[in-house]
Amino acid sequence: MNLSNMQFRNSFFMSAIKTGYGNNEGSITKRHLAFWDRRSKHVGAVILEPFYIDKKVRELPTQIGLDNDNKIEGHQSLVETVHNNGAKAIAHINHPGRMANPQLPGNIYLAASDVECAYGGQKPTALLPDEIKIVQQQYVDAAIRAEKSGYDLIELQFGLGYLIAQFLSPVTNKRNDEYGGSFENRLKFGIEILWKIKSAVSMPVIIKISGDEKFAGGLTIEDAIQIVKVLEKENTSAIHVTSGNICESDEWYYQHYFVPKGATWQLAKRIKENTSLPVIGGGQITEPADIASVFNDQAADFIAIGRALIADPDFVGKYLQLVEGIIRPCSSCLTGCLGRIKMGKGCIVK
């Protein structure tokens, strides 16, 4: 499989998930190396868990950081582990904006505007023009560290209600300057980050977006298609399609089993029908029949699998008949990959 003239051994990516295996310093630990070693043996690429770009905007106290050069050596070890198994390593870079964890001392809450999350949390401060440049540079600095660490690609988060999405949405962007108002202005913050990253590093950049935010007034599939058309002109390498918003539609964000299976794949299909870019689709890919559905329906070029690879590290290997045994199923219950992650524990499936 090919993406930006880069060859992958197959079309399966492990999606970015939060392990909870870190420490308060944001360092790579032995548990990280063991976890990703086990899960990079059969996939084409691993999208590592979201890396914070500023310690003051963490989502978890155990989150991995890419905010300082002293972390590069640890990331090099992680990349080497993934590469030794034949998979590509993708650095997922994100800023949560107003969704920084309110329980972490020292965290700050920044957004396009001072619009508080409907489900609670800290009221954010609207970024001033000078602060916008500082935050954008944090993205760039993290991308440079990713390249120095040996990562093959970058995935940049434009969706799920995080900071760039907070600029994109008229619900959370009430600005009256060059970053607010029109569609073009609301997209400008994210596009400038993309420009600056592409100017600073030579790595391909994947953009992750919500195909639909799934709440009244949120970004729709039509909005997502319009965004992708711009991203295509900016020579983005691929589009990774998810759904939901961490603040307003968390059941879609978490892909809970209440969400109709296949609904997110269909969003990927709509986008694939409207772009020449490679499309990565996913969301509740928990059994072989799901893979067949996505590919038979031509809904995506690549498939991102997250929780199924937590429940069974050999999920892809068994699907490809490289590993014997019955697939250990993921029930999309969220008990382990959400409820226990704050305790540094994982999936309850054994």
| 143 within some domain | yes
Number of C-beta neighbours around residue 156 at 10 A: 23
> Which pLDDT does position 255 carry in this prediction?
78
The burial of 289, by beta-carbon neighbours within 10 Å (0-12 exposed, 13-18 middle, 19 or more buried), is given as: exposed
| 348 within some domain | no
Containing domain of residue 56, as a range?
2-343
Alpha-carbon distance of 299 to 306, in angstroms, equals: 18
| 350 within some domain | no
- The residues that are catalytic are 162
pTM for the predicted model, two decimal places: 0.95
Q: Is the pLDDT assigned to residue 122 strictly greater than 70?
A: yes
> Encoding tokens for residue 130?
């000078």
Q: Flag the least confident range among 75-79, 143-147, 309-313.
A: 309-313
Residue type, 194: L
Q: Flag the least confident range among 16-30, 154-168, 170-184.
A: 16-30
Q: What is the largest CA-CA distance in the chain?
A: 59
pLDDT by residue (tens digit) across 235-282? 999 999 999 999 998 887 877 777 888 999 999 999 999 999 999 999
| Three-state DSSP class for residue 258 | coil
Beta strand 6-7 with 2-3 is: antiparallel
Alpha-carbon distance of 86 to 101, in angstroms, equals: 35
> Which pLDDT does position 344 carry in this prediction?
54
Beta strand 205-210 with 153-157 is: parallel
> Encoding tokens for residue 176?
């009256």
CA-to-CA dists, residue 278 to 156, 230, 262, 269, angstroms: 15, 15, 19, 11
Residue 162 near residue 101 (C-beta atoms within 8 A): no
Q: Is the pLDDT assigned to residue 218 strictly greater than 90?
A: yes
Residue 116 near residue 178 (C-beta atoms within 8 A): no
- Helix 221-233 × helix 263-272 angle, to 10°: 40
Alpha-carbon distance of 69 to 308, in angstroms, equals: 33
What CATH number is associated with residue 337?
3.20.20.70
Alpha-carbon distance of 263 to 322, in angstroms, equals: 29
Residues in the chain: 350
The burial of 105, by beta-carbon neighbours within 10 Å (0-12 exposed, 13-18 middle, 19 or more buried), is given as: exposed
- Helix 129-149 × helix 72-84 angle, to 10°: 50
> Which pLDDT does position 252 carry in this prediction?
79
Q: How many domains does the chain have?
A: 1
Alpha-carbon distance of 219 to 244, in angstroms, equals: 9
| 197 within some domain | yes
Buried b (16+ CB within 10 A) or exposed e, 112-150: bbebebeeebbebebbeeeebeebbebbbbbbbbbbebb
Mean pLDDT of 102-106: 93
> Percent of the chain, pLDDT > 70?
95
> Which pLDDT does position 250 carry in this prediction?
84
Rg (CA), the chain: 19
| 72 within some domain | yes
Return all residues near 337 (Cβ < 8 A) that are at least 6 apart.
17, 18, 306, 307, 310, 346, 347
Alpha-carbon distance of 24 to 10, in angstroms, equals: 35
Alpha-carbon distance of 233 to 137, in angstroms, equals: 23
* Residues 14/15/16/18 CA torsion (nearest 10 deg): -80
